């Protein structure tokens, strides 16, 4: 084993590899099983160069121990998640196994106990590993489980999200679905297996018609690695404040990408307006339109290649989850996890957001009581006050933008109508209206003046219509009206909560922790609605 203990990195998102497996493994098989596990770790490291790994292991005899040994040998931190207190757990080891267990325990980056007693301890650790793993590695022979908390039971939880009916509901870890790497593992009680030591990737099927589990997992890994690369571009303060610092850095990354997204959206709308204008004014509409579409699709391709829009939205979602989690943690709501209340029904491309929140909670909050936890903690109070101000300003901003755009459209239409009226009056004056309607060919004005008046009659109003269409697309894309209403609603929620917390602070009866929890829950639901709305209105090329 490596002499230097690898630490869990908390300045970025790690890929969490959970381990479950059989205890009765032949000593002669351990080398090949470690090599198979090493290949899994190596493949993850190579596919995600910006992302560290973290291994979860119960350190039980057999598969848990050999996986932990391999991780430590590769300088990968191991979080030892024990099913019961150490003194009680050591009773489950033989003398040689106990020596190995204690050595691994000493080399682990951190130790957490998932159950205070032996009763239901193995069920608790199984759910803990199924909950926090991004990838579960099962040293498994493929046979059914012998009881709750067994290898097959953990695999089933990970692939289906279901638990045994006998599980204790007070266990705070909820299973989440995800992929499983099965390392075919012979047991001393059943040594003959087909294709032993091979690695098989198993994917959950949420729907009967779904067959893209592999692509979903690869997209999740890519999103995690890109997030870490973007996070590395933001400075780390000298004083790391945990969740608060991560939230601020994630917010900074989201702000950068939001500016790029806005610039690209503005460019696409500008191209659409210019192309439509040239079609109205010039005699070469086909050439101009083809060129304009080529420029627009080039911009669009660039935006999609680097996924600016989705990255900005995802990072904003992570920042919001961290903001709520930090407030709950500082308020003393230790076992309230933001990911359990955030995008719970989203198990596709947005699932990685919950996994990110879950890892940060695991790394920074799990098994760590906050000494000064209180609803009056400065972080908690600042969250309530700042969110109240944000929603108030955001609602006014969205309404003001919508009103400003409506005025621009109205002014453009009025200008177009004035130009039409002026042109009509001049055509009548020159006795040239008949030219416009095609009933005569002898106006009193010069031909070039008649041509100009004809353009003045139609072009400004047509351009106003184009401008109105472009603005309408922008309003719909940004969902300005619904956003203004949603922000106003959330402002009232935070305003009432702030008043109620102030009243309790002055001695009135009430439950401030419940208020903080419900406030965070409402904020997460509101932000999830915003994120899903944005996903339903992706950036696109505008053709007018």
Q: Give per-residue pLDDT as tens, 506-530.
A: 889 989 999 999 999 999 999 988 8
pLDDT digits (tens, 9 = 90+) for 332-361: 887 788 888 887 666 667 889 989 999 999
Of 255 and 349, more confident: 255
CB 370, CB 473: distance < 8 Å? no
pLDDT of residue 351: 84
The answer, yes or no, to whether residue 169 has pLDDT greater than 80, is no
pLDDT the model gives residue 431:
63
Quote the distance between the C-alpha of residue 177 and its chain's center: 16
Percent of residues, the chain, with pLDDT higher than 70: 86
**Are 329 and 241 in contact, with CB atoms under 8 Å apart?**
no
Q: What is the largest CA-CA distance in the chain?
A: 114
Neighbours of 223 (CB within 10 A): 22
The answer, as to whether pTM is greater than 0.75, is yes
91, 358, 425 from 415: Cα distances, Å: 87, 56, 15
Binned at pLDDT 50, 70 and 90, residue 208 comes out as very low
**238 vs 491, higher pLDDT:** 491
pLDDT single digits (tens) 465-500: 999 999 998 998 888 999 999 999 999 999 999 999
> Which CB contacts under 8 angstroms, 24+ apart, belong to 260-264?
260/308, 260/312, 261/303, 261/308, 261/309, 261/312, 261/539, 264/299, 264/300, 264/302, 264/303, 264/308, 264/309, 264/539
- Per the model's pLDDT, the better-predicted residue between 98 and 434 turns out to be 98
pLDDT, residue 175, reads 60
In this predicted structure, what is the pLDDT of residue 74? 96
Residue 282 has pLDDT above 80, yes or no: no
Q: By percentage, how much of the chain surpasses pLDDT 90?
A: 51
pLDDT at 409: 94
Cβ atoms 356, 231 nearer than 8 A: no
Per mean pLDDT, which range of 108-122, 272-286, 430-444, 503-517 is the poorest?
A: 430-444
Q: For position 165, what pLDDT does the model report? A: 43
Residue 383 binned pLDDT confidence (cut-offs 50, 70, 90): very high
pLDDT for 174 beyond 80 = no
pLDDT of 207 reads: 47
Q: What is the pLDDT of residues 395-411, one digit of tens each?
A: 999 999 999 999 999 99
C-alpha to C-alpha distance for 410 and 157, rounded to whole angstroms: 59
pLDDT at 192: 62
pLDDT over threshold 80, residue 325: yes
CATH 3.40.50.300 fits 15-214, yes or no: no
**203 backbone φψ class: left, alpha, beta (φ>0; ψ -120 to 50):** beta
- Please name the residue ranges forming H helices in 108-235: 121-132, 151-160, 213-231
pLDDT at 52: 96
Q: What is the pLDDT of residues 114-160, one digit of tens each?
A: 988 888 888 889 889 988 999 999 999 888 866 666 888 888 888 88
Non-local (6+) Cβ contacts of 256 within 8 A are 230, 233
Tokens of 250: 């994630």
How high does pLDDT run on average in the chain? 86
């Amino acid at each position: 084993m490596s002499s230097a203990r690898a630490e869990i990195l908390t300045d970025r998102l790690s890929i969490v590899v959970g381990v479950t497996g059989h205890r009765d493994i032949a000593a002669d098989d351990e080398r090949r099983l470690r090599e198979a596990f090493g290949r899994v770790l190596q493949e993850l490291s190579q596919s995600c160069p910006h992302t560290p790994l973290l291994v979860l292991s119960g350190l039980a005899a057999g598969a848990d121990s050999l996986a932990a040994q391999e991780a430590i040998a590769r300088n990968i931190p191991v979080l030892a998640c024990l099913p019961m207190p150490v003194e009680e757990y050591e009773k489950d080891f033989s003398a040689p196994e106990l020596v190995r267990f204690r050595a691994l325990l000493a080399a682990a980056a951190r130790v957490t106990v998932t159950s205070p007693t032996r009763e239901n301890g193995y069920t608790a650790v199984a759910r803990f590993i199924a909950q926090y793993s991004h990838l579960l590695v099962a040293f498994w022979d493929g046979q059914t489980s012998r009881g709750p908390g067994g290898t097959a039971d953990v695999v089933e939880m990970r692939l289906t999200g279901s638990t045994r009916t006998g599980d204790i509901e007070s266990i705070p870890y909820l299973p989440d679905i995800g992929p499983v790497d099965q390392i075919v593992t012979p047991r001393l009680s059943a040594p003959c297996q087909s294709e032993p030591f091979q690695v098989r990737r198993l994917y959950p099927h949420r729907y009967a018609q779904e067959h893209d589990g592999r692509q979903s997992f690869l997209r999740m890994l890519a999103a995690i690695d890109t997030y870490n690369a973007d996070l590395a571009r933001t400075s780390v303060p000298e004083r790391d404040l945990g969740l608060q610092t991560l939230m601020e850095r994630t917010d900074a990354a989201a702000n950068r990408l939001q500016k790029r997204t806005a610039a690209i959206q503005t460019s696409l709308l500008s191209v659409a307006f210019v192309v439509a204008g040239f079609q109205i004014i010039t005699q070469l509409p086909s050439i101009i339109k083809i060129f304009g579409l080529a420029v627009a699709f080039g911009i669009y391709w660039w935006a999609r290649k680097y996924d600016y829009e989705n990255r900005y939205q995802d990072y904003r979602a992570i920042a919001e989850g961290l903001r709520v989690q930090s407030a709950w943690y500082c308020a003393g709501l230790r076992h309230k996890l933001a990911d359990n209340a955030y995008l719970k029904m989203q198990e596709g491309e947005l699932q990685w957001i919950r996994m990110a929140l879950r890892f940060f909670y695991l790394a920074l909050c799990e098994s760590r009581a906050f000494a000064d936890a209180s609803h009056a903690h400065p972080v908690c109070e600042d969250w309530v006050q700042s969110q109240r101000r944000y929603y108030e300003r955001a609602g006014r901003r969205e309404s003001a933008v919508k009103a400003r755009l409506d005025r621009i459209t109205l002014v453009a239409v009025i200008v177009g109508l004035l130009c039409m009226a002026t042109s009509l009056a001049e055509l009548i004056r020159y006795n040239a209206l008949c030219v416009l309607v095609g009933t005569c060919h002898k106006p009193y004005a010069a031909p070039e003046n008649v041509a100009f008046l004809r353009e003045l009659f139609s072009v400004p109003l047509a351009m106003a219509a184009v401008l109105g269409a472009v603005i309408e697309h922008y309003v719909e894309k940004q969902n300005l009206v619904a956003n203004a209403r949603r922000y106003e609603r959330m402002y009232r929620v935070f305003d009432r909560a702030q008043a109620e917390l102030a009243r309790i602070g002055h001695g009135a009866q009430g439950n401030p922790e419940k208020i903080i929890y419900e406030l965070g829950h409402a904020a997460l639901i509101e932000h999830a609605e915003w994120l899903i709305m944005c996903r339903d209105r992706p950036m696109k090329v505008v053709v007018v």
